[in-house]
């Protein structure tokens, strides 16, 4: 169907109709304008049509109208006002982790849907530092997008779906390839807490070796079965390393998951330095770690606040060569 033949259509820029046009649901959101990407469904889940307003970079752009846009009521909408702050926090978490070097062009962070425990929110496949609210996709615990969302998901979405499935207590997950952690994924040296800020680490952080169960792979956790095996390695813990790959951390809240991801990498760096000194290393004992973690988790809002401020401040800085 050509947009010009449809009711309530206002062609602005013109251009050819993409092959996907007949399969589009009522509207595409502002990300199509900002990012030049497809949105195959209205994130407000309207029950009726939305206006076609033009085309940019081979993308047909739609917008809601007062006549046609009637958001579906109910708690299933990822854009409901009750979780608007959470969506902002997911974007902020991506920025924080990227700016701390925990995530680079790869890696991802997700959060369980607060109104639909069988769903979780994760960005489409893209560099974390570029994620915006409009890039967030809602998934079911089967690892599939909810609705007719055709945007490309992360290849390792099963990391998230299978941990959420196995751990109802987990509310947020971070997967990272941080270089400081990799040596402990590939050697017999174990990642253990060396100071109080990393007290959430197990006295013997487990290592998931995908080859042991699945043979030769590209090291990515692509399939649900692989995600299930990773979740089993994580067990009831907060961090699991992944041989030749990186690590995953699971938290009770999004700020806690971010805290754990950052201090996992810092502990790894410090431990490498301590090992290089050649002396005997004194790690935190389990009772010390438990007491320290109680203190740290109670004050996580303090680092989260400053990390958020710094992340947003950096995003707002003008590019080099531009005038303020």
pLDDT, position 229:
98
Whole-model pTM: value is 0.75
pLDDT, position 136:
96
Give the pLDDT band (50/70/90) at residue 71: very low
5 pLDDT above the threshold of 90: no
Residues in the chain: 324
Cα–Cα distance between 106 and 176 in angstroms, integer?
A: 8
pLDDT, position 300:
97
- 54 vs 254 pLDDT, higher one: 254
pLDDT, position 105:
97
Cα–Cα distance between 227 and 224 in angstroms, integer?
A: 5
Report the pLDDT averaged over residues 172-198.
97
Give the pLDDT band (50/70/90) at residue 83: confident
Give the pLDDT band (50/70/90) at residue 81: low
| Each residue's pLDDT tens digit, 58-68 | 333 444 433 33
**What are the tokens at 164?**
């959420």
Q: Where in the chain is the domain with CATH 3.40.225.10?
A: 81-313
pLDDT, position 173:
98
179 pLDDT above the threshold of 60: yes
Report the pLDDT averaged over residues 246-254.
97
Alpha carbon 318 to chain centroid, angstroms: 26
pLDDT, position 79:
55
| Each residue's pLDDT tens digit, 194-249 | 999 999 998 889 999 999 999 999 999 999 999 999 999 999 999 999 999 999 99
Residue with tokens 């062609």: 11
Give the pLDDT band (50/70/90) at residue 318: low
pLDDT, position 317:
60
CATH number of 81-313: 3.40.225.10
Buried-state track 3-23, b at ≥16 Cβ within 10 A, e below 16 = beeeeeeeeeeeeeeeeeeee
| Each residue's pLDDT tens digit, 124-150 | 999 999 999 999 999 999 999 998 889
**What are the tokens at 1?**
């169907």
Quick check: is 51 catalytic? no
- Marked catalytic residue, from 116, 156, 162, 290: 156
Tell me whether strands 239-242 and 207-208 are parallel, antiparallel or unpaired: parallel
Report the pLDDT averaged over residues 291-304.
96
Phi–psi pair at 79, nearest 5 degrees: -100, 15
């Amino acid at each position: 169907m050509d947009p010009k033949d449809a009711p309530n259509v206002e062609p602005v820029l013109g251009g050819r109709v993409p092959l996907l046009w007949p399969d589009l649901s009522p509207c595409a959101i502002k990300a199509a304008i900002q990012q030049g990407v497809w949105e195959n469904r209205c994130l407000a889940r309207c029950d009726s049509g939305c206006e076609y307003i033009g085309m940019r970079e081979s993308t047909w752009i739609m917008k809601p109208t007062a006549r046609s846009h009637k958001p579906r009521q109910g708690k299933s909408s990822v854009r409901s006002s009750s979780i608007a702050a959470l969506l902002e926090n997911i974007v902020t978490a991506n920025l924080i982790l990227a700016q701390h070097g925990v995530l680079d062009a790869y890696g991802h962070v997700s959060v369980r849907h607060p109104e639909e425990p069988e769903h979780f929110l994760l960005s489409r496949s893209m560099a974390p530092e570029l994620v915006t609210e409009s890039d967030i996709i809602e998934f079911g615990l089967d690892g599939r997008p909810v609705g007719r969302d055709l945007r490309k998901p992360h290849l390792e979405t099963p990391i998230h779906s299978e941990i959420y499935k196995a751990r109802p207590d987990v509310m947020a997950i971070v997967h990272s390839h941080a270089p400081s952690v990799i040596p402990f994924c590939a050697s017999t040296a174990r990642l253990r807490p060396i100071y109080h800020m990393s007290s959430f680490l197990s006295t013997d952080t487990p290592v998931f070796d995908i080859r042991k169960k699945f043979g030769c792979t590209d090291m990515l956790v692509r399939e649900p079965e692989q995600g299930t095996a990773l979740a089993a390695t994580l067990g009831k813990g907060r961090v699991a390393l992944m041989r030749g790959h990186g690590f995953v951390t699971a938290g009770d809240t999004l700020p806690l998951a971010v805290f754990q991801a950052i201090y996992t990498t810092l502990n790894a760096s410090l431990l490498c330095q301590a090992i290089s000194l050649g002396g005997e290393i004194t790690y935190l004992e389990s009772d010390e770690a438990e007491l320290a973690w109680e203190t740290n988790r109670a004050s996580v809002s303090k680092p989260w606040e400053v990390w958020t401020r710094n992340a947003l401040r950096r995003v707002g800085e003008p590019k080099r060569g531009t005038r303020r």
